[in-house]
Amino acid sequence: MHTKSRLMAVLVVLLFAFAACGGTDESKASSSSSTSSASSSSGSGLPPIPGIEPDFDITEAIDPGTELRIDYDGEAEVSYQWYKDGEPIAGETESSYTPDEPGVYSVVISAEGCEDKTIGPFTVGEPDESSASSSESTGGSESSISSESSISLSAEQSSSSSSSSANAGDTVTREIDTGIELVMAYIPSGEFTMGQAGMNSDVTFKVTLSKSFYMGIYPVTQEQYAAVIGDNPSYFTSAFGDEVIAKRPVETVSWYEAAAFCNALSEMHELDKVYTIDVISVEADWDANGYRLPTEAEWEYACRAGTAGEYYWSDIAGADINDYAWWGDANGATGNSGGMTHQVGLKEPNAWGLFDMSGNVWVWCWDGYVGGYTVTGGGRQDPRVDTGDRRAPRGGSWRNPAVDQRSAYRVNGTPSHQINDVGFRVVRTAQ
């Protein structure tokens, strides 16, 4: 389509955001080498920039002289790079651009801590042969939009959060220090049967978790703890075979120290701290976006990962505990642990990509320990116990027999307790 007069019309993409990306992540994948259609993903493992969903394509050609403008009304600090035929346009780093020549155009939007987002392709005019090739590779179209047209993405359309399009086990990565990363898996909200009859819980009941969350795919490691807190309290720090010592789980940490780590990591990543800590008094702000310990219900739900058997590998034909867990006794006479912790991630993960959910080290949960799963603070929806003289580690460890590695098995300890078979892992509520 051609216009008789060259009007400076505007093609507008409205992007309303309801949550901002948090902090920096120097591992963010670069999109400068090439662009892709709006429905593609770079696979960086980072969350998408909120407010730019749903994905969409403009399937008609646009007249030259039409201003392309991105209106982003969110909290994230974003930057832009415009492309023509797959190559960056020098100096075009503003939110708007007016192409005067035929071609296939797109814009890459970046925000620290989020995956780069490509908007486009926009086919302008009648592209030459090279442009047509680029259009074909990115799904562009040769039909036309006049310079009097506009396209808007409404707030209602884009109200989904960055987690709404995620699948169970999808990961995000944040840097803690140079070469030290925190990888977390997306755990969707849902229902499950908690507990197991005939065990120390001796009760089962249906639990609903109304909020999705992210959980560290490993227990917190010695190098992660040291990078955040400044020291390593672990007992097991000697070399063992080819294992990396620093990637063993941190242990000999109390429940209080685990909560303090969560706050320190939140502060490092410029997130709201969940815990208010006054010596031995700890209160939680459940609306804060920072790191925290999982509740018992969140831990068991994530551990089971959709399974209902005694172990999260019970439904897998031929599966063996030795493929999934480090277990045994304090002397290394039984099991496979040899009487020590081991580098995280060496055993098979569960169905949602979480490693060492059974064995290696117990992990502290938020809940005060109450026998029989008597719960407060939400009942059977989002259950938790906010107070108690004892807290609930879960998951079994290197020094425990196979029966203690079961998904519903529970123990308890004083929150000041420090021992070399108890560590922790972190979670964040999905925003």
Structure token digits, residue 88: 């960056």
With bands split at pLDDT 50, 70 and 90, how would you rate the model's confidence at 163? low
Q: Which residue, of 100, 130, 145, is where some domain finishes? A: 145
Contacts with 228 (C-beta within 8 Å, 6 or more apart), sequence order: 176, 261, 264, 265, 268
Residue 309, pLDDT score: 92
Structure token digits, residue 228: 């955040």
pLDDT digits 0-9 by tens, 40-52: 334 456 777 765 5
With bands split at pLDDT 50, 70 and 90, how would you rate the model's confidence at 35? very low
With bands split at pLDDT 50, 70 and 90, how would you rate the model's confidence at 379? low
pLDDT at 154 over 90: no
By mean pLDDT, which of 62-66, 95-99, 204-208, 252-256 is the weakest?
62-66
- Are residues 85 and 224 located together in one domain of the fold? no
3-state SS class at 21: coil
- Are residues 391 and 258 located together in one domain of the fold? yes
Contacts with 309 (C-beta within 8 Å, 6 or more apart), sequence order: 315, 407
pTM of the prediction?
Answer: 0.64
Q: What share of the chain is helix, strand, coil (3-state, %, to 5)?
A: 15, 25, 60
- Are residues 303 and 354 located together in one domain of the fold? yes
Domain contains 369: yes
3-state SS class at 321: helix
Average pLDDT on 71-75 reads 67
Structure token digits, residue 61: 């050609």
The CA angle 77-82-87, to the nearest 5 degrees, is: 135
Domain contains 236: yes
Domain range holding 82? 10-145
- Are residues 414 and 337 located together in one domain of the fold? yes
3-state SS class at 305: coil
Q: How far is CA 179 from the centre of its chain?
A: 18
Residues 207 and 99: their CA atoms lie apart, in Å, by: 55
- Are residues 123 and 179 located together in one domain of the fold? no
Residue 202, pLDDT score: 62
- Are residues 345 and 198 located together in one domain of the fold? yes
Q: What percent of the chain has pLDDT above 70? A: 74
Domain contains 159: no
Residue 39, pLDDT score: 34
Structure token digits, residue 390: 């004892």
Q: What is the mean pLDDT of the chain?
A: 79
